[in-house]
């Protein structure tokens, strides 16, 4: 996929509408993880160095009306500290206050608009809203890969109104890295898929059966596959409506000569959250217990498979890893992935958190900022934001 690059734009003296993904966790006005803010800095600094005036737009959460707890004001304050530059925050997305603040911007300064989802027109691509957005800037740059699969006003609709539009460095890198998985991965190519549901990752599952050599499946998703094979899983989470689909996926993998590896044992508990846990084989889960993590034998099997990999893609935790008693499987596999000499890409919020908590994020080739967007890209879907930036 060839996209127009920010390098191709003349930014000198231009107002630059910069769509970012600053959807960061905020608690009591404090930012808990600024990874997404830092990821924007290369593009933001480039705009300023080239003489452009960045006008940043982003959403935050899913606000109902103008929920003050989802204001981007703490992000503006944090961005000012990170960059050491003046960050204007007019407190609106469009309107007179925004226009006045833009007119007062000096070279080297930044402006951050309020949460774009405060405006109903963001979701509906209201023509009047799009017109107001377009009037704010001269050129358009999108660096919000995490929202690339959504056709919203600031990620898609307004982009089409700019003759000069391009992607930033983050999107450029994401597309380059994810394309390596799609186009010509080194083999063996092993994919690890976890998380709760097959239904959330159906397209990518179908695509990975075609592309990957081996799929290691854990988490709630594995429960559905195990149940589909006729093994009882006690009081565990699974998707009844996806049992037949799981059978079809396993049959398709067999026909294509691909391997799907499911857990052979589990860590289980009776209480929620778990107080006591025990390890059992996959056939020994009592009816009043639930599965919380993969067991020791499965960790061994998954690790052995990963030891042969030249390409690894991981999306989704292998257990309820936010509970300490069920975190071992996810963290052990994170460490194993880190130790493998291969091209390694981790995507999805919880998988990223896992490699960070395991202290191995610096040993991963690429950590993708886009969970849903990464999956849809790998699943072969067209991502609206990227379509708008194609050469």
Where in the sequence numbering do the catalytic residues fall? Answer: 36, 197, 349, 372
Alpha-helix runs per DSSP H in the chain: 35-49, 73-83, 96-103, 121-124, 127-134, 169-183, 202-211, 219-228, 243-256, 296-306, 328-339, 349-357, 371-378, 384-387
Instruction: Name the one residue in this structure whose structure tokens are 């606000």.
Output: 63
Question: In the numeric block, which tokens belong to residue 234?
Answer: 């006690």
HEC readout, 74-96:
HHHHHHHHHHCCCEECCCCCCCH
Contact (Cβ atoms closer than 8 angstroms) between residue 310 and residue 188 = yes
Distance CA 264, CA 246 (A): 17
Of residues 78, 168, 69, 160, the one with CA closest to residue 115: 69
Distance CA 279, CA 257 (A): 31
Question: In the numeric block, which tokens belong to residue 31?
Answer: 């930012």
**Is residue 283 packed enough to be buried (19+ CB in 10 Å), middle (13-18) or exposed (0-12)?**
exposed
Identify the DSSP state of 303: H
Distance CA 289, CA 278 (A): 10
Contacts of 365 (CB under 8 A, 6+ apart): 177, 342, 343, 344, 345
Please report, to the nearest 10 degrees, the dihedral formed by the alpha carbons of residues 11, 14, 17, 18 taken in order. Answer: 30
Contact (Cβ atoms closer than 8 angstroms) between residue 316 and residue 201 = yes
Q: How many CB atoms lie within 10 A of CB 188?
A: 17
């Amino acid at each position: 996929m060839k996209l127009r690059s920010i390098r191709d734009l003349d930014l000198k003296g231009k107002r630059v509408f910069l769509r970012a993904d600053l959807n960061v966790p905020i608690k009591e006005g404090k930012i808990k993880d600024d990874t997404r803010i830092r990821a924007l800095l290369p593009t933001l600094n480039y705009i300023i160095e080239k003489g452009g005036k960045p006008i940043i737009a982003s959403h935050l959460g899913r606000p109902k009306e103008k929920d003050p707890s989802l204001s981007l004001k703490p992000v503006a304050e944090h961005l000012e500290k990170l960059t050491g530059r003046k960050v204007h925050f007019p407190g609106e997305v469009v309107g007179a206050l925004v226009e006045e603040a833009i007119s007062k911007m000096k070279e080297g300064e930044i402006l951050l608009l309020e949460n774009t989802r405060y405006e109903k027109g963001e979701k509906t691509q209201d023509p009047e809203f799009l017109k107001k957005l377009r009037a704010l800037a001269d050129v358009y740059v999108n660096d919000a890969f995490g929202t690339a699969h959504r056709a919203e006003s600031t990620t898609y609709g307004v982009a089409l109104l700019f003759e000069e539009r391009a992607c930033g460095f983050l999107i450029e890198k994401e597309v380059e890295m994810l394309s390596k998985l799609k186009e010509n991965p080194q083999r063996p190519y092993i994919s690890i898929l976890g998380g709760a549901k097959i239904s959330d990752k159906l397209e990518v599952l179908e695509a990975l059966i075609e592309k990957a050599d081996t799929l290691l499946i854990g988490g709630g998703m594995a429960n559905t596959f195990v149940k589909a094979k006729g093994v009882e899983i006690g009081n565990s989470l699974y998707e009844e409506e996806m049992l037949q689909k799981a059978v079809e996926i396993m049959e398709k993998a067999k026909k294509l000569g691909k391997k799907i590896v499911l857990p052979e044992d589990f860590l289980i508990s009776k209480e929620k959250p778990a107080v006591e846990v025990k390890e059992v084989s996959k056939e020994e889960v009592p009816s009043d217990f639930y599965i919380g993590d993969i067991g020791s034998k499965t960790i061994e099997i998954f690790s052995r498979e990963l030891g042969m990999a030249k390409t690894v893609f991981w999306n989704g935790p292998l257990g309820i890893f936010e509970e300490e008693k069920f975190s071992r499987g996810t963290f052990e596999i994170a460490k194993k992935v880190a130790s493998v000499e291969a091209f390694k890409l981790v995507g999805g919020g919880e998988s990223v958190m896992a490699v960070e908590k395991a202290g191995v994020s610096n040993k991963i080739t690429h950590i993708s900022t886009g969970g849903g967007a990464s999956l849809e890209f790998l699943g072969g879907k067209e991502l609206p934001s990227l379509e708008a930036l194609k050469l």
